[in-house]
Amino acid sequence: MSATPDPHPAPGLLPPGRLERMLLAALAALLAVLLLWLRGGLHPAAPLERLARQSPDFSTALADGRPTLVEFYADWCEACRAMAPAMEAMEKRHHGALDVVLLNVDNPRWQPQLERYEVNGIPQLDFFDAAGVSVGRSIGARSADELEALSTALLQGTPLPALAGVGATSELPGAAAGVSGERGATAGPIAPRSHG
């Protein structure tokens, strides 16, 4: 005599096999969430990635009538990552008045800018007035207070504060022809990782 499933199980009991399917579905969902978490899918983007994603186009920023701060950075740069929360806070404070542009030195698209602005170490910050004219450069990581002082001077059109590693920039003889200073055409471009 074979047992046939009861078409009307007692209240509170699930039909045979349904409980197993529900457990398998719950386990699959848990594994999917765990996989996303392990791959970073559930973590909000880090400040450096958020800044890079929302960064305006470089040439547009220089032409929009607002002062511009350009950071040359790399994803692997620990100093860039450490400075990113302060950069993000500064960008939020001055959003709409100051353009903050991030250019990744590992992206070949930015090679002409790397050469033009002689990027040979990161983080490098280049400062441009509202007319898009270069007014200074900062080499190395900056604290939140230093970033605020630099951005305030840029917004007010006053000279950049005298901080170590900060200086004014100027066109060097031959820069228009693609030759900068003593490096000359034979020296070739300096790579950001060369610290040359």
Q: What distance, in Å, lies between the first and last C-alpha atoms of the chain? A: 89
Burial class for 174, CB neighbours closer than 10 Å (0-12, 13-18, 19+): middle
Cβ atoms 180, 114 nearer than 8 A: no
Q: From the candidates 48, 51, 61, 77, which is the catalytic residue?
A: 77
Judged by DSSP in three states, 45 sits in: coil
Structure-token pair, residue 91: 């960008």
Active site residue 171: no
| 80 tagged catalytic | yes
Quick one: which of 127, 118, 121, 131 has its CA closest to 160? Answer: 127
Active-site entry in 52, 61, 80, 135: 80
Contact 70, 138 (CB under 8 A): no
Backbone angles phi, psi at 72, to 5 degrees: -90, 120
- Between CA 49 and CA 74 the distance in angstroms is 10
Active site residues: 77, 80
